[in-house]
Amino acid sequence: MKRRDESGASAVEYGLFLALIAAVIIATVALLGTGVLNLFRSLEGAF
């Protein structure tokens, strides 16, 4: 039985890696976005 060369990453692996990065970016923006919005609202009330 002949083995295939599996040394390179496939398109599926690149897609999974890209999906993971996108999920991390979305989670970060969602968490930081709420915090920044609350900060600006508290500063707005100070003036």
What are 27-37's pLDDT values in tens digits?
999 989 888 88
d(CA 2, CA 4): 7
At residue 7 the predicted structure's pLDDT band, cuts being 50, 70 and 90, is low
Cα(23)–Cα(25) distance, rounded to whole angstroms?
Answer: 5
The rounded Cα 26 to chain-centroid distance in angstroms is 5
Q: Distances from the Cα of 3 to the Cαs of 6, 7, 28, in angstroms?
A: 9, 12, 42
Whether the pLDDT of residue 8 is over 80: the answer is: no
Model confidence band, residue 4 (pLDDT cutoffs 50, 70, 90): low
Burial class for 14, CB neighbours closer than 10 Å (0-12, 13-18, 19+) = exposed
Confidence of residue 15 (pLDDT cuts 50, 70, 90): very high
Q: Kindly report the average pLDDT of the chain as a whole number.
A: 86
